[in-house]
Amino acid sequence: MEQKYVLGILALAMVAILGVSMVSAFGFGNGFMNSELTEEEKAEMQEQKEVMKTAIENKDYGTWKSLMEDRLSEMQEKITEENFDELTQRHEKMSEFREAVKELKDSGDFSKEDIQNLQEEYGVEGKRFGKGKGFGMKNSGKCPLTG
């Protein structure tokens, strides 16, 4: 019985890690989606983050488990074929953009304006363009995984 309990916790932790990984991979917290949230939504996210932090600091398993179950439930609601299709379309568009930027850079003859033109063409926001930085999709709405 204890082994099943431990495996259940590990499975839940894996889902949480997957969720955090997906969030990181798609730029949440880096301006991708945060700019499209209302102030109320941002405040709610911050509050949830603080409650989670407090639960961990206080070693409050019950609160942590409840918060994780809520997150899991929200994520499960977003797992749809429609959301997956939107995600794959965004991925393809970003791949095309990256290839176009690479070709432009490889040509050795490009300007900031050329990059901006590509950003507009592909609908990519390039506030953080540069080494080690990412891009977010511009005016694309909320991520399909978050609503």
> What does the pLDDT look like over 93-126, one tens digit per residue?
999 999 988 888 888 888 888 888 888 888 887 5
Count of structural domains within the chain: 2
Question: For the segment 72-96, what is each residue's pLDDT rounded down to a tens digit?
Answer: 988 898 899 999 999 999 999 999 9
Position 23 in a domain: no
Check: CB of residue 51 under 8 Å from CB of residue 67. yes
Q: How confident is the model at residue 8 (pLDDT cuts 50, 70, 90)?
A: confident
| CB-CB neighbours of 21 under 10 Å | 10
Q: 143 vs 14, which has greater pLDDT? A: 14
Structural domain that includes position 116: 81-147
**Longest distance between any two alpha carbons in the chain, whole Å:** 66
User: What pLDDT is recorded for position 104?
Assistant: 86
Q: What is the arithmetic mean of pLDDT over 33-42?
A: 72
Q: Are residues 106 and 137 in the same domain?
A: yes
